[in-house]
Amino acid sequence: MKKNSTNPIIAIDGHSSTGKSSYAKMLAKELNWKHIDTGAMYRAVTLYGIQNFPEGKYIDNQALVSHLSDIHIDFIYNPETQNNDTLMNGENVESEIRGFKVSELVSLVAKIPEVRNFLVKQQREIGKKGGVVMDGRDIGTVVFPCADLKLFITASIDERAKRRFLDFQQQNKTISLEEIKENLKQRDYIDQNREVSPLTQSPDAILIDNSHLNKQETYQKILAITKEKFGNILP
Ligand code: DC
C-alpha cells in the first residue's frame, strides 16, 4: 500500500474500551478529515449473523461466511449526535451494534479469516485517498502498514471495565461490573491470540496508556503528537 503524504492516514489501534473511537472522531473533526470506526464494521457483520444465522447462543459461522456478499455497510452522518452512524443494508443499526449481545460475540466473528478479508478490502478502499483517521485493532499492522502516524492506546483492565460500566449505566442498561470485566478479558484474549492479524502494537506505533489520564488529557496528548508530526497541515 503506497503512502500518501499529502493526504495522510492516521491509524489508531488498541484495546477495547480505551476510547479509541472517540479520540479518532475528535481528531478527524479537528483536522476536517474522515473518521472510520472499523470496529463498527465487525459489529455490523456480527449483528447480521445474530439476526440471520443464530446457532444457540452463537452464530453459524459457515452460513455467515457464505452470505458475506449480502452485507452492505455504510456510514451516514448524524447531525444530532455529530457521529457517523452505521448502516447495515440501508438500516441504521448504530444503537443495536453497541449492545451487549453483539459485544459478547463480535470477537468470535472478527477472528474468522473470510470476515477479515471482506472488511479489510473495504477499509482499504475507503481509506485509500487519505485524509482519514481510522481506528481498530489492525489498522497500523495490516490495513495501512504505511500509515503516516500510528497510535496504540491501552489502559488497565479495571479502568476500562469501570468506563464501560458507566457507559452502560448512562444508557440505563443493567450489566454488572464483573460481567463487563469478564467480557473485556475474553475479547482481549481472542483479539490478541487469533491466527489472522491479532491485536498487537506495531513497532512504529506510539503507545499511549491512559489508565491515569482523563478524556481531555488523553486527547491533548494525541493532539500534541499529531501536531508534532503534521504541524503544517493542521487547520
Ligand atoms: O472497537 P470495538 O470494540 O467496537 O471492536 C469490536 C470488535 O471488533 C473487537 O472485539 C475486535 C474487533 N475488531 C477487529 O478485530 N479489528 C478491527 N480493525 C476492529 C475491530
- Whether 20 is in a domain gets the answer yes
Residue 56's CB is within 10 A of a number of other CB atoms, namely: 6
Q: How many domains does the chain have?
A: 1
The three-state secondary structure class of 213 is coil
How open is the CA angle 5-123-160, to the nearest 5 degrees?
A: 95
Structural domain span for residue 185? 9-226
Dist. CA 230 → ligand 1 center (Å): 27
- Whether 233 is in a domain gets the answer no
DSSP state of 124: H
Ligand 1 binding pocket, CB closer than 6 Å? 16, 38-39, 42-43, 106-107, 110, 136-138, 187, 191
Nearest-CA residue for ligand 1 atom 8 is 39
- pLDDT for 94-152, tens place per residue? 999 998 899 889 999 999 999 999 999 999 999 999 999 999 999 999 999 999 999 99
Per-residue pLDDT band for 83 (boundaries 50, 70, 90) equals: confident
Grid cell, residue 53, equals 444465522
Dist. CA 105 → ligand 1 center (Å): 11
| CA distance linking residue 40 with residue 60, whole number of Å | 20
- pLDDT for 159-207, tens place per residue? 999 999 998 898 888 889 999 999 999 989 999 999 999 999 999 999 9
Contact 163, 104 (CB under 8 A): no
- Whether 232 is in a domain gets the answer no
- Whether 76 is in a domain gets the answer yes
The CATH number of the domain holding residue 64 is: 3.40.50.300
Nearest-CA residue for ligand 1 atom 1 is 39
Q: Which atom of ligand 1 is nearest to the CA of 199?
A: 15
- Whether 4 is in a domain gets the answer no
Q: Given the C-alpha cell 456480527, which residue does it identify?
A: 46
Q: Which atom of ligand 1 is nearest to the CA of 119?
A: 18
- Whether 135 is in a domain gets the answer yes
Residue 180's CB is within 10 A of a number of other CB atoms, namely: 21
